[in-house]
Structure 1
Amino acid sequence: MNAVLKDTDRDMKLPAPTRDVEQGKRDMDEYGLCVHEAFVSGDQLKALKDRLIEQAELECEQGVALLSGQSRGGKTWYGRPDADVLPGWQGIAALYNKGRVFIDYLQHPLFKAYNAHVFRGASAHLSAMTGLVVRRGAEPMVVHVDQQFMPYTEVPTYLNCMLCLSDFEEVMGATRVVPRSHRGPYPPQAFSTERGAYNPEPIATVAVEAPAGSVIFFESRTWHQSGVSISDKTRYSLTTLWQQHWVKPMDNIVENLHDSVYASLREDELQLLGFKAEPSGRVEARSPSSRQNTNRKTPYVPELRRGSDVRAVALEGMGDRKGADDEAKAMGLNTKR
């Protein structure tokens, strides 16, 4: 692996924004990121922003907001902000539970195109879906990569897709990156009780500015951080983090998904959220009406003992769905039982 990059060795040039997915893929390969303009526009962009703002405001009013002066990587707390001083950062977690408009956004066809390219055809599903509100006073986050907790991998494990619901300007704390840093290694970090995680030496980064409706794609080996906001304008964004299917997700979506939302979703939507065994992610029924993998249905089997009235419940359609073996073979998996 290469030695730690020095600032003098870095070319801080960013790729030009594009509306061409093929150019975006080339930029991902070269820079570890791309800016895809006009990814969302018009009524959909407005609906996403309005729903996010409404949710964020109500979470504050009801004392359940996730707040920080920096980000989820800094000191965070749940509660109600002071009436006269809003924290610099607010996170709105698990957006898949907080409005149909967010589920619809997951259907964007270019997610599939970028995922297939970055993950080299490996199956992928959602790992987390979070809204961010950044205000004046937000502090910078430590320079990091999204797979900092695992060894460097030849293929990235996550793809971060940050939708700009408002314009991203450097003075608003726009996301900052180190272009071409995805080629390894990871940025040096240290930790102290007083400071938390920090970079022992300064690392030069560049702000990614983009108009509302753009998505900033960056893969999980790319060095990045949040910036400092010195603007009176509020920055709104919506992040979908996608992952290869074998990785433990950032959000345990199979557990997190509210029952009412689960019951409302189609099979293809459930697959986007990780309800598919391939071969990781197997779900075993925890009640006769339990959640199931879309391609593998299990019976309800509790502890069974002689003389007990407790019984297993066989369910219609138990076993692998027809066609699941063909899908597994296409991925090169062993389907013998």
Structure 2
Amino acid sequence: MRTALPPITDDLGQAERDLREHGICLVTGVLTPAQLADVRSALYRAAKLDAQRNVTHSGFKLDYGEGNHRVWNTLSLDPVFADLVEHPVALRLVRSVLGWPALLGNQSANIALPGCVGGMLHADQIFVQEPWPALPQGCNVAWCIDEFTEENGATRFVPGSHLHHRPPGEDDRDISVPAVGPAGTVVVFESRLWHRTGENRTTDRTRAGLFGWYTRPIYRAQENWFLSLNPRILEGASDDLLVLLGYKTEGLGKINGRSPR
């Protein structure tokens, strides 16, 4: 079993190799400081509005305790989130894992609050019946909106666990290691890799991550975009975004034999 994650890189070719070998890559230099500041401001503004309305979305089934603030359907909240969904680097790495077309299953955020106790070890394709296929069925693109450190709750991964082709069981030890990196780092990992939210052991620092979940086109999206999506997102949407949301199809989901758009 491997004991370490691949190092952070700014070489996308190396990132693709890391994905093939390790099931995960960490990429830096993707967002400008201004882009990162815009995303961070939009995310914390959305979280603040949730708190004001007493809608904190804590208690998610993979969380322990109430220390993780989940912000759902971020795609509908601000155009900056749509920009990340179809960011060229994100889509290049998604294509390297899943091919094309792919579907966007969800885009949400997790803010690990000071003192949170972390989360449950899991793999993202737990919806796939065992035995699992030889290839991953999904891919997560995690944007580090804040610096990710071991102390503030960086997402933790079990290196090499994707090679088990199964979810973690009761007898599996949690030998996870944190994916640490500066704010703006992109962590892309395939759906068989075991991981969990880390413990935020600080008393005054939050750790925000934005997660785009992509799947092969045969799977139903976690978020029902046709009911929940803010219509503004479709105004001037690119073909790639329409494919990701299921509004334009290159395979399944046709209407009378043709793509909806």
Question: What's the TM-score, normalizing by structure 2?
Answer: 0.90
Q: Which residue of 1 aligns with 2:156?
A: 176
Name structure 2 gaps, 5 residues minimum.
none
1:37 equivalent to 2:28? Answer: yes
| C-alpha distance 72-42 of structure 1, shift in aligned 2 (>3 A) | farther
Task: Give the superposition deviation at 1:200.
Answer: 4.4
Q: CA RMSD in A?
A: 2.1
Residue equivalent to 1:57: 48
How far off its partner does 1:52 sit?
A: 0.3
The 2-side partners of 1:181 and 1:155 are apart by 14
Residue matched to 1:296: 259
Residue aligning to 2:62:
73
Paired residues of 2:26 and 2:188 also in contact (CA < 8 A): yes
SS in 1 for 2:57: strand
Name which of 63, 70, 81 aligns with 1:91.
Answer: 70
Distance 1:72 1:178 in 2: 20
**1:155-194 matches, cutoff 5 A:** 155-189=135-169
In 2, distance between residues paired with 1:271 and 1:177?
A: 30
Amino acid at match of 1:65: T
- Give the AA of the match of 2:165: P
Give 1:46's aligned residue.
Answer: 37
Partners of 1:279 and 1:137 lie apart in 2 by: 46
**Gapped regions of structure 1 (runs ≥ 5):** 1-9, 77-86, 190-198, 285-292, 298-320, 322-337
SS at match of 1:166: coil
Quote the Cα distance in structure 2 between the aligned partners of 1:179 and 1:155: 17
Q: Secondary structure at the residue paired with 2:7?
A: coil
Number of equivalenced pairs: 257
- State the partner residue of 1:202: 173
Structure number with larger C-alpha Rg? 1
CA contact (8 A) 2:140 2:211 kept: yes
Superposition deviation, residue 278 in structure 1: 3.3
Paired amino acid for 1:176: R
Say if 2:188 is the partner of 1:217. yes
**1:207–1:275 distance in 2 versus 1, CA, 3 Å:** same
Residues 122 and 154 of structure 1: CA distance in aligned 2, closer, same or farther (over 3 Å): farther
Per the alignment, residue 211 of structure 2 pairs with 239
SS in structure 2 at match of 1:249:
coil
Which structure has more relative contact order (CA 8 Å, sep 6+)? It is: 2
The answer to whether the 8 A contact 1:158-1:241 is kept is: yes
**TM-score where L is the length of structure 1:** 0.71
Report the CA distance shift for 1:283/1:145 in structure 2 as closer, same or farther (over 3 A).
Answer: farther
Deviation at 1:182, TM superposition (A): 1.1
